[in-house]
């Protein structure tokens, strides 16, 4: 256990709230710094009273640095960003938040280098090109990145930024490239629609989905939260790099639907092979496993089971097992 403080940007969002809960469970004090002070997810996770939520904007460099300094945080976990669909809808805002905001985080860590030990931050698997551009199977951190979305492009820029700050200013950072996050309370992002494969049947509603033959990396949100804690904690001497792929369970959309049907025998799910998804890479996470000690705790069935259980409990429905 520890009494160290973590400054967590995006801390009231989907992944941010789970990361806050993960950090609290491991004895950290957490300051959630977010444009939104909506604590609903934190409340559902039972940690709203154990974290400090401060409304602020990473684009406001002076305001953010003031809060960071006053928090006496030792670590920064930077998750604040506009994701794919939001970035597409408002490109100018995405540039400000994803690029200028991340610059402000790195600058703050540099300015407060006597206080801040490390920045763990969210890059994304969106840095990679569409899967057809990788014809050799597993994609490693050494493979070429050439994204086709503004969000992915902003994350490539962030990685270049981080490398410069590391080389020129000795910034200790670890960036992670998560994939498709799923779990209770996700509402935004380019892959949020996939939640309906689980949520609709869990609540007794029919659902039809395309992309049946396409492979998705299903990463349970609790595993992603764990990966950020490990990125924050792992000693620099144990690492050979600063950017890591992290993933969950690889399965086609059809296999995911079959897993739901196994858990919910009367599920009304229709799957077709129409359409094409832009982010179905098979990420190699050997480095994260060996250097960060990251191994997902949830496979597809256990993640779906917990997800369905939460949904049915909150809806006042009988448990299925």
Contact 94, 82 (CB under 8 A): yes
Domain that holds residue 273: 183-217+249-278+298-314
Q: What CATH number is given to the structural domain containing 261?
A: 3.90.25.10
User: Do 51 and 111 sit in the same domain of this protein?
Assistant: yes
- pTM value is 0.95
Kindly report the number of other CB atoms within 10 A of residue 197's CB atom.
Answer: 24
Residues 150, 191, single domain; the answer is: no
For residues 13 and 78, what is the distance between their CA atoms, to the nearest angstrom? 12
Are 28 and 2 spatial neighbours (Cβ–Cβ below 8 Å)?
Answer: yes
Residue 212 confidence (pLDDT): 92
Which CATH number covers residue 84? 3.40.50.720
Residue 193 lies in a domain: yes
251: number of Cβ within 10 Å: 18
Residue 233 vs residues 118, 161, 203, 227, 254: alpha-carbon distances, Å: 9, 22, 39, 10, 37
Task: Using the predicted structure, report yes or no on whether residue 120 has a pLDDT greater than 70.
Answer: yes
Q: Please report whether residue 319 resides in a domain.
A: no
% of the chain surpassing 70 pLDDT: 97
Instruction: Please say whether the dihedral angle defined by the alpha carbons of residues 191, 192, 198 and 200, taken in this order, is positive or negative.
Output: negative
Distance CA 44, CA 140 (A): 36
Which phi and psi (to 5°) does residue 180 adopt?
A: -90, 105
For residue 320, tell me if it sits in a domain: no
With cut-offs at 50, 70 and 90, classify the pLDDT of residue 129.
Answer: confident
Is 289 a domain residue?
A: no
Same domain, 30 and 70: yes
Residues 62 and 84 reside in one and the same domain: yes
Residue labelled with tokens 């206080």: 115
199 in any annotated domain = yes
- Does 234 lie in the same domain as 104? yes
- Give whole-number Cα distances, 144 to 127, 131, 140, 216, in Å: 9, 12, 9, 20
For the ranges 148-162, 187-201, 276-290, the maximum mean pLDDT occurs at: 148-162
pLDDT in tens, 197-210: 999 999 999 999 99
Look at the chain and report how many structural domains it folds into: 2
List CB contacts of 161: < 8 A, sequence separation 6 or more.
99, 102, 103, 106
Look at residue 168 and tell me if it is in a domain.
Answer: yes
Same-domain pairing of 41 and 168: yes
Q: How many CA atoms lie within 13 A of 149 on its CB side?
A: 25
- Sequence-distant (6+) residues with CB within 8 A of 35 are 55, 56, 57, 80
For 72, the token pair is 């006496």
Return d(Cα 303, Cα 103) in angstroms, integer.
35
CB atoms within 10 A of CB 1: 6
Same domain, 115 and 146: yes
Q: Is residue 234 part of a domain?
A: yes
**Residue 188: per-residue pLDDT:** 64
Inside any domain, residue 291: no
Per-residue pLDDT of 27-84, as tens digits, reads 999 999 999 999 999 999 999 999 999 999 999 999 999 999 999 999 999 999 998 8
Q: Are 15 and 227 in contact (CB under 8 A)?
A: no
**Together in a domain, 208 and 157:** no
- Residue 189: pLDDT band (50, 70, 90) is low
Pair 154, 198 in one domain: no
**pLDDT tens per residue, range 208-235:** 999 999 889 999 999 999 999 999 999 9
13/158 same-domain check: yes
Task: Give yes or no: residues 66 and 169 share one domain.
Answer: yes
Asked if residue 240 and residue 210 are part of one domain, the reply reads: no
């Amino acid at each position: 256990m520890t009494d160290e403080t973590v400054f967590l940007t995006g801390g009231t969002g989907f992944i941010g709230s789970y990361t806050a809960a993960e950090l609290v469970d491991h004895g950290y004090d957490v300051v959630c710094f977010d444009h939104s002070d909506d604590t609903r997810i934190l409340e559902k996770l039972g940690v709203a009273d154990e974290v400090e939520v401060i409304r602020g904007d990473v684009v406001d460099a002076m305001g953010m640095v003031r809060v960071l300094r006053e928090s006496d945080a030792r670590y920064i976990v930077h998750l604040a960003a506009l994701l794919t669909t939001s970035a597409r809808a408002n490109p100018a805002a995405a540039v400000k938040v994803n690029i200028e905001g991340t610059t402000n985080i790195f600058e703050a860590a540099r300015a407060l280098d006597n206080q801040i030990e490390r920045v763990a931050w969210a890059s994304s698997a969106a840095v990679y090109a569409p899967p057809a551009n990788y014809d050799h199977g597993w994609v490693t951190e050494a493979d070429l990145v050439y994204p086709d979305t503004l969000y992915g492009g902003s994350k490539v820029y962030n990685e270049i930024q981080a490398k410069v700050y590391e080389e020129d200013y000795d910034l200790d950072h670890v960036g992670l490239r998560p994939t498709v996050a799923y779990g209770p309370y996700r509402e935004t992002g380019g892959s949020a629609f996939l939640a309906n494969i689980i949520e609709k049947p869990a609540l007794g509603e029919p659902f039809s989905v395309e992309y049946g033959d396409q492979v998705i990396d299903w990463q349970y949100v609790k595993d992603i939260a764990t990966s950020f804690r490990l990125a924050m904690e792992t000693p620099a001497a144990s690492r050979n790099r600063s950017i890591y792929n992290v993933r969950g369970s690889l399965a086609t959309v059809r296999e995911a639907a079959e897993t739901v049907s196994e858990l919910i025998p009367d599920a009304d799910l229709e799957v077709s092979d129409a359409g094409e998804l832009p982010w179905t890479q098979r990420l190699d996470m050997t480095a994260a496993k060996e250097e960060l000690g990251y191994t997902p705790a949830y496979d597809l069935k256990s993640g779906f089971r917990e997800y369905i259980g939460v949904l049915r409990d909150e809806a006042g429905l009988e448990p299925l097992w």
